[in-house]
Amino acid sequence: MTDVTFVLGTRPEIIKLAPVVQACHRLEVDYSIVHTGQHYSDSLDSVFFDQLELPEPDYDLGVGSSSHGEQTGEMLIGVERALAETAPEVVLVQGDTNSVLAGALAASKMDAELGHVEAGLRSFDRSMPEETNRVIADHVSDHLFAPTEQSKKYLLDEGLSERRITVTGNTVVDALFRNREIARRKSTVLADLRIENRDFFVMTAHRQENVDDEARFRDLLAGVERAAEAHDADVIYPVHPRARDRIETFGIEVPDPIRAVEPLEYLDFLRLASTAELILTDSGGVQEEACILGTPCVTMRDNTERPETIDVGANRLSSCDPGQIVASATEMLLRGDDWENPFGDGDAAERILQSLPLETKSREVAR
């Protein structure tokens, strides 16, 4: 029996749950890790366990890639079996992937209490699989760890009880504060990519609604190409395997100023993201990191579940329209970087653990 079982399965969950795992050591909370195997390529998975100094998962379900239903169904079966063995007081899931949906559904019908880290994010776009996942995870959770007051408000608007909600900040800040300086000292990525003395942009694009739609993906690349040419910048694009697969299937030639590279390790990505003139992305976590690092961001989507980044002036939505991408890039490059970080002070992980009803924690407090 453990106090906490983490259910995770993808790159962003590993990064954002790492601070909570590390806080378990500081607060003497006993834990186990169930890895669904949704991400399995080393570059999306084991490199993050190594770099973030996480222990091997106790269970690796090895589910891999398939359709949403098949993938989620296999994870549900595996997670339920694993949780029956770890018998935790609390199950923690983070974010909005299919691993989160499976973890949340399995835990919600078992004895354990369920905590959702990064609760209350909403794009209000149900065509995105992530929106379905986060809405369901929130509604079956006992503990909702909202990163901001805005996300708490969305939860209250949906009728969720205030008693279940704790505003904690986002654990992405904890991860970033812990690793930014290490990245500055250790990463050689700028020299490796020969961009030490160059203006450059970083781009990421991997979301289903963008890269699985050939016309949208081609538009997005054309927009980034034109923005790079307008500002005489190189663009570094670490290509997610989903996008790599689509590039090959559609026979797309990535335009010249965009340098397609393998997915980067976390420290290298942080170093690039903090040094870049501009970030162009459709990622959730990268929008937050750009905002916290003080790098202007253009989000190549029609909506964002991170409106705080727009409200503080760190981010702008461009859709995938090439003209809008160019205009947004120019506007953000002129914007400066004097905004406030809306995602908290880097103590989200400890706040999350402190608010869980754990036997261990009451022992700690009683001491």
What's the min distance (Å) between Cβ of 14 and ligand UDP? 9
By CB under 6 A, is residue 40 in contact with ligand UD1?
yes
Q: Report the partner that residue 40 touches, choosing among ligand UDP, ligand UD1, none (CB closer than 5 to 8 A by kind).
A: ligand UD1
- Please select the residue that binds ligand UD1; options are 86, 98, 123, 295, rule is CB under 6 A: 98
Residue 37 vs 296, nearer CB to ligand UD1 = 37
Q: Which of 143, 206, 231, 240 is catalytic?
A: 206
Those residues whose C-beta lies under 8 Å from the C-beta of residue 4, and which sit 6 or more positions away, are 24, 29, 30, 31, 32, 88, 89, 90, 91, 92, 353, 356, 358
Interface positions, 111-130, toward ligand UD1 (CB under 6 A) = 129-130
CB of 165 to ligand UDP, least distance (A): 22
Q: Which residue has the tokens 């091997």?
A: 56
Nearest to 280 by CA among 242, 310, 236, 313: 236
Binder of residue 324, out of ligand UD1, ligand UDP, none (CB less than 5 to 8 A by kind): none
206 binds ligand UD1 (CB under 6 A): yes
CB atoms within 10 A of CB 1: 9
Contacts of 220 (CB under 8 A, 6+ apart): 205, 210, 282, 300, 320, 325
Q: Annotated catalytic, 206?
A: yes
The set of residues, in sequence order, having a beta carbon less than 8 Å from that of 239 and lying 6+ positions away, is 247, 260, 261, 262, 263
Q: Is there binding between residue 44 and ligand UD1 (CB under 6 A)?
A: yes
Between 40 and 59, CB nearer to ligand UD1: 40
Residue nearer to ligand UD1 on the CB measure, 339 or 343:
343
Interface with ligand UD1 (CB under 6 A), residue from 180, 226, 242, 335: 242
Confirm or reject binding of residue 156 to ligand UD1 (CB under 6 A): no
**What number of chain residues touch ligand UD1 (CB under 6 A)?**
19
Task: Pick the closer one to ligand UD1 by CB: 113 or 289.
Answer: 289
Is residue 35 within the footprint of ligand UD1 (CB under 6 A)? Answer: no
Cβ 159 to ligand UD1 shortest distance, Å: 25
Residue 286, binding choice from ligand UD1, ligand UDP, none, Cβ under 5 to 8 Å by partner class: ligand UDP
* Interacting span for ligand UD1 (CB under 6 A) from 5-13, 82-90, 181-189, 231-239: 5-13
The contacts found for 47-56 with CB under 8 angstroms, 24 or more apart, are 47/265, 47/266, 48/11, 48/14, 48/15, 48/18, 48/265, 48/266, 49/14, 51/265, 51/266, 51/267, 52/14, 52/15, 52/18, 52/175, 52/179, 52/266, 53/22, 54/14, 54/18, 54/21, 55/21
Tell how far CA 133 is from the center of its chain.
Answer: 14
CB of 227 to ligand UD1, least distance (A): 23
Instruction: Outline where DSSP puts E strands in 154-311.
Output: 165-167, 200-204, 234-238, 258-261, 278-281, 297-299
φ, ψ for residue 145, nearest 5 deg: -95, 95
Binding-site partner at residue 103 among ligand UD1, ligand UDP, none, CB < 5 to 8 Å by type: none
238 binds, among ligand UDP, ligand UD1, none (CB under 5 to 8 A by kind): ligand UDP
**Near ligand UD1 by CB under 6 A: residue from 2, 17, 29, 39:** 39
Give the rounded distance of the alpha carbon of 140 from its chain centre: 21
Distance, in Å, from the CA atom of 28 to the CA atom of 168, rounded to the nearest integer, reads 20
Closer CB to ligand UD1, residue 24 or residue 33?
33
Which of 27, 47, 33 is closest to 4 using CA atoms? 33
Contact positions toward ligand UDP, by CB under 6 A? 11-12, 15, 204, 238, 263-264, 266, 269, 283-286, 289
Nearest CA to 92 among 178, 174, 24? 24
CA dist., res. 238 & res. 216, Å (int) = 19
In the complex with ligand UD1, the residue whose CB is nearer, 41 or 303, is 41
Catalytic site residues? 206
Contact residues toward ligand UD1 (CB under 6 A) are: 10-12, 38-41, 44, 65, 96-98, 129-130, 206, 240-242, 245
